[in-house]
Chain A
Amino acid sequence: MLRPEPCLRAAEVSFGYASLRVVHEASLQVGPGETVVLLGPNGAGKSTLVKGIIGQLPLLSGTLDLNGSDISRTPAQIRVRQGLGYVPQIRDVFPTLSVWENLTMGGYLLARSGIKERAEQVIGDFPALDRLRRRRAGTLSGGERKMLAIARALMAKPSVLILDEPTSNLAPLIAAKVLEEIVASLAGAGQAVLMIEQRVELALQVATYGYVLVQGQMRLDGHAAQLQETEDLSSLFFSGGAAPLHGGPEAATRGLA
Chain B
Amino acid sequence: MNLYIEAIGFGVIAASSIALGAMGFTLQFGLTNVLNVGYGATMSFGAIVAYAAHLTGMSIWLALICGGIATSGLTLLSAKTLLRVYAKRGAALFEMAMVTFGIALIVEYAIASITENNTFSLTIAIEHTHALGPIRFTDVQLALVILAVVVFILLDGFLRLTKVGTALRATAVDPDLARASGIATGRIVTIAWLLSGFLCGLAGGVFTIDILTVNAFTGDSLLSLVIVAALMGTAGSVRGAALAALLLGIATQLVSAAGASGYASAVAYGVLAVVLLARPKSVQGGLVADRVQITV
| CB proximity of B27 to chain A, nearest CB, Å | 14
| CB proximity of A175 to chain B, nearest CB, Å | 22
Q: Which of B137-185 contact A (CB under 8 A)?
A: 163, 166-167, 169-170, 173-174, 176-184
Q: Known interface pairs A91-B288, A95-B287. Does A54 touch B166 (Cβ–Cβ under 8 Å)?
A: no
Kindly supply a per-residue 1/0 record for chain A positions 75-110, scoring 1 wherever the CB is within 8 Å of any chain B CB and 0 otherwise: 011001100001010011111110001001110110
**B170 close to A105 (CB less than 8 A):** yes
Q: How many angstroms from the CA of A5 to the CA of B287 in the assembled complex?
A: 42
A residues within 8 A CB of B236? Answer: 96
What residue of chain A has the Cβ atom nearest to residue B234's Cβ? Answer: A96
A246 within 8 A of B: no
- Please count how many residues in chain B sit with their CB below 8 Å of the partner chain's CB atoms: 19
Interface centre among A93, A105, A106 (most CB of B within 10 A): A105
**A80 close to B181 (CB less than 8 A):** yes
Q: How many angstroms from the CA of A108 to the CA of B176 in the assembled complex?
A: 14
**A105 close to B287 (CB less than 8 A):** no
A: which residues have CB within 8 A of B? 54, 76-77, 80-81, 86, 88, 91-97, 101, 104-106, 108-109, 112, 115, 152, 156
| CB proximity of B67 to chain A, nearest CB, Å | 31
Interface centre among B182, B184, B288 (most CB of A within 10 A): B182
B residues within 8 A CB of A54? Answer: 180
Give the residue of A108, A112, A152 whose beta carbon is less than 8 angstroms from that of B167: A108
Interface centre among A76, A93, A96, A104 (most CB of B within 10 A): A96
What residue of chain B has the Cβ atom nearest to residue A87's Cβ? Answer: B180
**A76 close to B173 (CB less than 8 A):** no
Q: Known interface pairs A77-B184, A91-B174, A91-B288. Does A97 touch B166 (Cβ–Cβ under 8 Å)?
A: yes
Q: How many angstroms from the CA of A81 to the CA of B163 in the assembled complex?
A: 17
**B180 close to A104 (CB less than 8 A):** no
A residues within 8 A CB of B163? Answer: 104, 108, 112, 115
B: which residues have CB within 8 A of A? 163, 166-167, 169-170, 173-174, 176-184, 236, 287-288
Per DSSP, chain B at the interface is: helix
Total cross-chain contacts (CB, 8 A): 62
**A88 close to B176 (CB less than 8 A):** yes
Q: Known interface pairs A108-B167, A115-B163. Does A94 touch B174 (Cβ–Cβ under 8 Å)?
A: yes
**B182 close to A77 (CB less than 8 A):** yes
| CB proximity of A118 to chain B, nearest CB, Å | 13
What residue of chain B has the Cβ atom nearest to residue A137's Cβ? Answer: B173
B residues within 8 A CB of A86? Answer: 180
| CB proximity of B187 to chain A, nearest CB, Å | 11
Interface centre among B170, B178, B181 (most CB of A within 10 A): B181
**B169 close to A88 (CB less than 8 A):** no
B residues within 8 A CB of A94? Answer: 169-170, 173-174, 177-178
**A105 close to B180 (CB less than 8 A):** no
Q: How many angstroms from the CA of A95 to the CA of B167 in the assembled complex?
A: 13
Q: How many angstroms from the CA of A252 to the CA of B139 in the assembled complex?
A: 68
Q: How many angstroms from the CA of A97 to the CA of B168 in the assembled complex?
A: 11
B residues within 8 A CB of A101? Answer: 166, 169-170
**B182 close to A80 (CB less than 8 A):** yes
A-B residue pairs in contact (CB < 8 Å), sample of 21: A76-B179, A77-B184, A80-B181, A81-B182, A91-B174, A91-B177, A92-B177, A94-B169, A94-B173, A94-B177, A95-B287, A96-B173, A97-B169, A101-B166, A104-B166, A105-B166, A105-B178, A108-B183, A115-B163, A156-B181, A156-B182
A residues within 8 A CB of B177? Answer: 88, 91-94
Q: How many angstroms from the CA of A180 to the CA of B87 in the assembled complex?
A: 45
Closest 5 CB pairs of A and B: A109-B182, A80-B182, A94-B170, A105-B170, A96-B173
Q: How many angstroms from the CA of A86 to the CA of B178 in the assembled complex?
A: 11
**A105 close to B173 (CB less than 8 A):** no
Give the residue of A77, A93, A112, A115 whose beta carbon is less than 8 angstroms from that of B179: A77
**A152 close to B181 (CB less than 8 A):** yes
What residue of chain A has the Cβ atom nearest to residue B166's Cβ? Answer: A101
A residues within 8 A CB of B166? Answer: 97, 101, 104-105
Using A94-B177, A95-B173, A95-B174 as known contacts, list a sample of 8 further A-B pairs with CB atoms less than 8 Å apart, ordered by residue number in A.
Answer: A77-B182, A86-B180, A88-B177, A92-B177, A93-B177, A94-B169, A97-B170, A108-B167
B residues within 8 A CB of A88? Answer: 176-177, 180
B residues within 8 A CB of A96? Answer: 169, 173, 236, 287
Give the residue of B173, B180, B183, B184 whose beta carbon is less than 8 angstroms from that of A97: B173
Q: How many angstroms from the CA of A95 to the CA of B182 in the assembled complex?
A: 18
| CB proximity of A124 to chain B, nearest CB, Å | 20
What residue of chain B has the Cβ atom nearest to residue A115's Cβ? Answer: B163
B residues within 8 A CB of A112? Answer: 163
Q: Known interface pairs A88-B177, A97-B169. Does A105 touch B288 (Cβ–Cβ under 8 Å)?
A: no
Q: How many angstroms from the CA of A80 to the CA of B183 in the assembled complex?
A: 9
